[in-house]
A and B are shown apart, each in its own frame.
Chain A
């Protein structure tokens, strides 16, 4: 199609100008249309406004070679932005300009034909991306090697595990030559080894292409992006340096949580929590607080973390003890302690109470961490009174980019040449 929106600076690969997107509600049956007609007559134009504005007046541009992160809550409009970039849908108002070839596999393995083999699906998927047979022939060997699927490539993909499916999807997406690559949670597939392989490949792609990176893994966003957009309720809330935008976002999430803390009487379980126990003592609530006792979700490495555990005694017992484990986001056991290790004997007799565990600082690398809190007798954690695994999530902020989990104190010397 001939372009109307001229891209003035040749470095701009994507330009959004005052883009709004409205999803209209579809009237399904004639009966509904008839009812709506009546409604419209009665209430004037109000009934007509049944559309949902997913994006409102969004303007930004993406320069050549950038890796742009897009963050925001579910339903903030991230997917709509990706679909507009990919040309899957068109804006209701405003203009979207895109330059060059786009690899628009928003979902890995979308469009695989389950009855075809992995090898055949490489050709099918390449054709979906607009590649000619010759172009696919040129990269099929590298795709097959990267996927590591070996003889499974001759098996229909309906027999694949979800991990194998994702491997093949990533391998294809990563080897299609494109000027702009649009990704949605692309690095969260497969096992740890494949994720490392993906990340290496991703860094190669960064050197050659412009990348749009959407993820809920904020640590990864900070790690790979050169700039971040924060989208809130369909509007551009702020953009800029990844560390700053992510930190501002986490702060907002925190404030939102605080508001909910005050209004909710019964707290929901964290998604992903698993809970078991015999129930003599029950852990009612766990709050992660700062030094002054205010509930917080985000902490800096040098902040104080206080884990405040509220418990309730259901049957009399004198031998109860508490424990707290900290896990990193990818499941590494960072630290664990309990009152038995510390040689404490708690004489719990009252019906309910609070116990606090204080960490003076958090010398771990920035990222997401999960708390497991439990109560048991005689340090017997296989049959606990109450064990709530991954029940609280905290975010450790910071600008350090060290690898691993723990921030060991360290100093480099200047090189001594000889």
Chain B
């Protein structure tokens, strides 16, 4: 039996969260379905179809490679081509930025579903995360090809990958949930988003190495989890030195806090979604 009103419920926050999570797991089919539908409808009427998932990071890489290794000579570590260096940063950043921007507007754009059917609302923004996750995977597949093209020795630090992927996904999911919930309540978020992402990208080592930042600002710079995440991916994939353990710890804690608070906040305001729209 389900009860729609639990005002004076005397249970801990954890129990409530676990219940929410169980319901989310029950609706995993919907999560998957929405993500696949998104991909299908995105690629259905395009001439190149799924190729776009490749073309986006590769074309950006070409542009940045020309600008930053031919016009401006960005000093990066010897032996790593700038194109590969920028590519890892772009693939990582695009997953975050695409999830964040599409996820934020997702709940409002699905208002027809929200006001007509009952299901855990977080599946909508999280499905956007999965949809951009497909592009992310294709991006990494393409990376292996690029390695071969450049004749780079393939000696990744594999052990870093599971950890960094967890931090990356948790942090992105947390921000997507915050963004989606806030966007329903205040549409200002939609106007702030592109600006925020633009500034954030330049504050992250997407197209330049974080070693360009003066030593005294380094610790401040690495508070941005995206900086640590991007540098860690590079380290894992290209063998450049990894960020400090302290920076990795900071990023992990921030990611967990972002996800937990984002999920809790989303569930807290979710009951009002149907009324507000």
A: residues with CB less than 8 A from B are 1-5, 7, 23-24, 26, 83-84, 86-91, 94-100, 102, 104-107, 110-111, 113-116, 120, 123-124, 127-133, 156
Contacts and interface: CB of A to CB of B under 8 A. Distances in A.
A98 B33 contact: no
B116 A2 contact: no
A130 B26 contact: yes
Given A2-B9, A97-B4, A133-B29, 11 more contacts: A1-B16, A88-B274, A95-B5, A96-B5, A99-B1, A104-B118, A110-B113, A115-B37, A116-B40, A128-B30, A156-B44
Q: Considering residues A2, A102, A124, A133, which has the most beta carbons from chain B within 10 angstroms of its beta carbon?
A: A2
B40 A105 contact: no
B3 A1 contact: yes
Given A106-B116, A115-B41, A133-B29, A3 B271 contact: no
A130 B30 contact: yes
Nearest to A107: B116
Contacts of A3: 1-3
A17 to B, nearest CB: 9
A96 B271 CA distance: 14
Contacts of A156: 44
B78 interface: no
Interface of B: 1-6, 8-9, 11, 16, 19, 26-27, 29-30, 32-34, 37, 40-41, 44-45, 110, 112-119, 271, 274-276
Nearest to A135: B29
Contacts of A98: 1-4
B271 A89 contact: yes
B3 A127 contact: no
A95 B32 CA distance: 33
A21 B197 CA distance: 39
27 contacts: A1-B9, A1-B16, A2-B9, A4-B5, A4-B6, A7-B1, A26-B276, A84-B4, A87-B118, A91-B4, A95-B3, A96-B5, A97-B2, A97-B3, A97-B4, A98-B1, A99-B1, A107-B112, A111-B116, A113-B37, A115-B45, A124-B37, A127-B32, A128-B30, A130-B26, A130-B30, A156-B44
Contacts of B113: 110-111, 128
A227 to B, nearest CB: 22
A400 to B, nearest CB: 37
A83 B274 contact: yes
A127 B27 contact: yes
Given A1-B19, A124-B33, A88 B118 contact: yes
Contacts of A107: 112, 116
Given A26-B276, A86-B118, A89-B271, A115 B40 contact: yes
A130 B3 contact: no
Nearest to B113: A111
The 9 closest A-B pairs by CB, nearest first: A115-B41, A110-B116, A127-B30, A3-B3, A111-B113, A87-B118, A127-B33, A96-B4, A89-B274
Contacts of B6: 1-2, 4
Nearest to A19: B5
Contacts of B40: 115-116, 120
Given A102-B118, A110-B116, A130-B27, A90 B37 contact: no
Nearest to A23: B275
A4 B7 CA distance: 9
B205 to A, nearest CB: 36
Given A1-B19, A97-B3, A130-B30, A111 B11 contact: no
Contact of B4 (A2, A90, A110, A133): A90
Contacts of B34: 124, 127
B105 to A, nearest CB: 16
A1 B29 contact: no
Contacts of B271: 89-90
B30 A116 contact: no
A130 B30 CA distance: 7
Contacts of B9: 1-2, 4
A345 B16 CA distance: 82
A109 to B, nearest CB: 9
B184 to A, nearest CB: 10
Nearest to B114: A88
Contacts of B16: 1
B117 A128 contact: yes
B23 to A, nearest CB: 8
A358 B27 CA distance: 62
B178 to A, nearest CB: 19
Contacts of A128: 30, 113, 117, 119
Contacts of B11: 2
B265 to A, nearest CB: 17
Q: Considering residues A84, A91, A113, which has the most beta carbons from chain B within 10 angstroms of its beta carbon?
A: A113
Q: Considering residues B4, B114, B118, B271, which has the most beta carbons from chain A within 10 angstroms of its beta carbon?
A: B4
Contacts of B37: 113, 115-116, 120, 124
A132 B1 contact: no
B13 to A, nearest CB: 13
Contact of A105 (B1, B45, B116): B116
B5 A88 contact: no
Contacts of A102: 118
